[in-house]
Chain A
Amino acid sequence: MKNIPLSYSIRNLFARKLTFFLTLTGITLVVFVFCAVLMLAYGLQKTMVDTGRADNIILYRKGSDSELSSGVDRNLVNIIATLPQVGRSASGQPIQSPEVLTVINLDMKSNSSMGNISVRGVTPGMVFTLRPDVTIADGRSFNPGSREIIIGSAIQKRFQNTNIGQTIKFGGDEWTIVGIFDGDGSAYESELWGDVDQLMQAFNRQGAFSSVTVRLAELSQLPSLQETLESDNRLLTLKAESEPEYYRRQSRYLNIFIRVMGLSITLIFSIGAVIGAMITMYAAVSNRTKEIGVLRALGFKRRNVLASFLFESIFLSLLGGSLGILLASLLQFLTFSTINFGTFSDITFGYILNREIILYGLLFSITMGLAGGFLPAVQASRQNIVSTMRGG
């Protein structure tokens, strides 16, 4: 005997509109949150990994786990510039940017409180060779030797008095905003940039940079660079790491927080939706006791009945799951800004959907459908033909 037609299951679902709608909405909401959490974690990861290139290497003091607590002496920068692994520009200049990173407070637009913002002193000119993804979106770049800064587009939207021409006061001086830059979705968009020498002076850093970022002459030279650091006594205090690796590490706690907290809570309340589906399916089975009897009398096997009810439940949850994913995809129009626990400063990232998340969302909804539908389907298939026909 053939299988019970799928349309039988689907039509049955629509027969009881209210119950169908309530269960569907429950599953939709769960899958929506599930996908939102994954999209957020992926958005953070993408922002961090997009910040930098594999052949950009950041050098900072061993033992300090971020630029914020690192110090690199000025004379080490000259030594680094001579290393053979450091790439050269067309004019023969080493492609490197000694930088200083610190944090300042600005007033947020959304409420009266203050937020922490990373301020990065960079090497004028060379920094754009090093990070070609960063482009001036509006205004111009800062002039070397001046108290001018450019502001990342993500924070420009979120903080007060950050338009071109306005000034920000820190380090005992007024700094004029002369441009807004885009960073192609990277974490740089959450930073302020100015001339490194000016910022060092303002912050009284006395010749200690936070880090030096260099371009490798060839991508494969990171191990060789690390060996050089180990073998040169003057450079022993430094640690070399690729930019993607460094930024991934800076965001690891936020990432763990979003994933672990978000997913475990979602898993817990998804049980609620699964039980909702189970109640619906049990009701479907008990309402159709006679029908099941008829189906069995017509010669459909127990497994056909089981498959039919299971399909009904999976169809319901897949429909809910698809709606949830669809709803979650709308989140891509929003951005999410919070403090990064690793750097103590503001970071903006988006909800980003990818194929994997869609797949996980669908798998998750199928799992919910199976979990909710299995026991009722087994009950349906176990019905005794004679007693079901007699009932009612």
Chain B
Amino acid sequence: MNLPKLVFRNIFRHSLRSALTILGIGVTITAFGLLRTLVGAWNTGVEASSDNRLITRNAVSFVFPMPLAYQNQISSIDGVEQVTFANWFMGVYVDENQFFPRLAVDANTFLETFPEYLLTREELETFKRERNSCIIGSVIAERYDLQRGDIMQVTGNIYPGTYEFVVRGIYRPRDQTTDASQMFFQWDYLNERLIQDSPGRANEVGWYIVTIAEPSQSAGVSEAIDAIFLNSRAETKTETEASFQQSFISMSGAIIQAINVISIIIIGIIGLVLSNTMAMTARERNQEYAVLKTLGFKSNFITRLIVSETLLISVLGGILGLAITFPLTDAVQEYIPAGWFPVFEITPLTIGLSALAVAAVTIFASFYPILYAKSQSIVDGLRQIS
């Protein structure tokens, strides 16, 4: 007997019910996909990390700076290729809700440490040459309609005063995980202002980014760096870029946990909707199962029939869900304030998890109908015909 044909015909028997179930699963898978994308967006910082970069910051916390002089001291350690640094400037651009990071960076070295920010040679040269120049990510350029030569005015909050920058370069992301929503300007430009306005805060660095020759040496080099500054006024804590990023994620661990719990609840809801449909179907077809058994089909066949039908409905629902998730994710990204989630993309992992959810739900929802079909005797099934 042609199983696929029977399964296919079966789902059209109650086409409204099947359509509703598929729609229900689809919408719910969409919610699941969005949540997983959100978790993925949270993790992009870790994924974008390079394993040959270390971050050195003040051991007390990120709020406290370190002396500029540390750059040379760190450079002298074996295994260190390059040391660059940055300060968190932020400030207010346009209005308070524009969050993308604005960093004062060491113009000579910073962009060499981050080869994933693609710039032309000319852009890079101009940036190094012009004191008040800045480089922005392509996402920022698009969002604020900025072009080379445009001026960005930023009002400082951490560093008081109004600052004007000329856009001299627009970097493109090399990888999908690369954050193209940042703005960099010359640390020297900031420092010159600080020497004038508040000399007590000049010549200080927010964090160092240390490029090492061999990723396998990261632990040793980190220890060597921290050992130099032990018992100084500004002790340091050095870790790989990935674990630095991870520590920020850990701090919002409860949110990730909550999202995970909701994800499981969502799968539960899909399971309930599908189970409901399949349970109804099984009861209605009791006589048919009896007829099939009478004709000599083994109960294995009926099991396969039920599982195939459940699978078909849930797979169709899953495909529908993913089809909605893609455009919806784009729409959500437009809506999220700039800088909240630099990368908001559906990852293969999300698709894989959705597929796994569909599979799990299929097994769950087939369970009762199979048990039911097996428990019914042929005679009972046929008697219902009355």
Using CB atoms and an 8 Å cutoff, list the residues of chain A in contact with chain B: 18-19, 22-23, 25-26, 29-30, 32-33, 40, 61, 63-65, 68-69, 102-105, 108, 110-111, 113-116, 170-172, 203-204, 206, 257, 261, 265, 268-269, 271-273, 275-276, 278-280, 282-283, 336-339, 344, 346
Contact = CB atoms under 8 A, between A and B. Distances in A.
A276 to B, nearest CB: 4
List 7 A-B pairs, minimum CB-CB distance, nearest first.
A275-B24, A272-B28, A113-B250, A269-B31, A339-B251, A276-B273, A268-B31
A116 B23 contact: no
Contact of A272 (B262, B269, B280): B269
B200 A268 contact: no
Interface in B53-109: 59-64, 92, 96
12 contacts: A22-B276, A65-B92, A102-B61, A103-B61, A114-B250, A116-B62, A172-B233, A269-B27, A271-B24, A275-B27, A279-B276, A338-B253
B357 to A, nearest CB: 12
Contacts of B200: 206
B149 interface: no
Nearest to A205: B200
A25 B271 CA distance: 11
Interface residues of B, number: 55
Given A103-B61, A278-B20, A116 B251 contact: yes
Contacts of A275: 20-21, 23-24, 27, 273
A261 B23 CA distance: 22
Interface stretch (B152-160, B211-219, B293-301): B152-160
B17 A22 contact: no
Interface of B: 16-17, 20-21, 23-25, 27-28, 30-32, 34-35, 38, 59-64, 92, 96, 155-158, 160, 200, 233, 237, 246-248, 250-255, 258, 262, 265-266, 268-270, 272-273, 275-277, 279-280, 368
B24 A261 contact: no
A65 B157 contact: yes
B250 to A, nearest CB: 4
Given A30-B269, A114-B247, A276-B24, A337 B254 contact: yes
B378 to A, nearest CB: 22
Contact of B30 (A110, A268, A283, A336): A268
A279 B270 CA distance: 13
A207 to B, nearest CB: 10
A103 B63 CA distance: 6
A267 to B, nearest CB: 9
B317 to A, nearest CB: 10
Contacts of B272: 22-23, 25-26, 29, 276
Given A30-B269, A105-B61, A276-B276, 20 more contacts: A22-B273, A29-B269, A65-B92, A69-B158, A103-B62, A104-B60, A105-B59, A114-B247, A114-B250, A171-B60, A172-B233, A269-B27, A269-B31, A272-B266, A275-B27, A276-B24, A279-B17, A279-B280, A338-B251, A346-B251
A115 B21 CA distance: 45
Nearest to B243: A113
Contacts, number: 145
A102 B63 CA distance: 7
Contact of B276 (A19, A32, A268, A269): A19
Contact of B35 (A171, A206, A265): A265
Nearest to A19: B276
A105 B251 CA distance: 11
A172 B235 CA distance: 8
A311 to B, nearest CB: 20
A344 B269 CA distance: 35
A269 B61 contact: no
A111 B92 CA distance: 35
A18 B368 contact: yes
A78 B1 CA distance: 94
A27 B262 CA distance: 14
Contacts of B34: 265, 268
Contacts of B38: 261
Contacts of B252: 338-339
A65 B96 contact: yes
Contacts of A103: 61-63
Contacts of A206: 200
A203 B262 CA distance: 42
A280 B251 contact: no
A261 B336 CA distance: 10
B201 to A, nearest CB: 9
A36 B233 CA distance: 46
B157 A276 contact: no
A63 B157 contact: yes
Contact of A338 (B60, B246, B255): B255
A276 B269 contact: yes
Given A103-B63, A170-B60, A269-B31, A113 B246 contact: yes
A271 B273 CA distance: 11
A280 B276 contact: yes
Contacts of A68: 63
B280 A105 contact: no
Nearest to A267: B31
Given A61-B160, A265-B262, A339-B252, A272 B20 contact: no
Contacts of B233: 172, 204
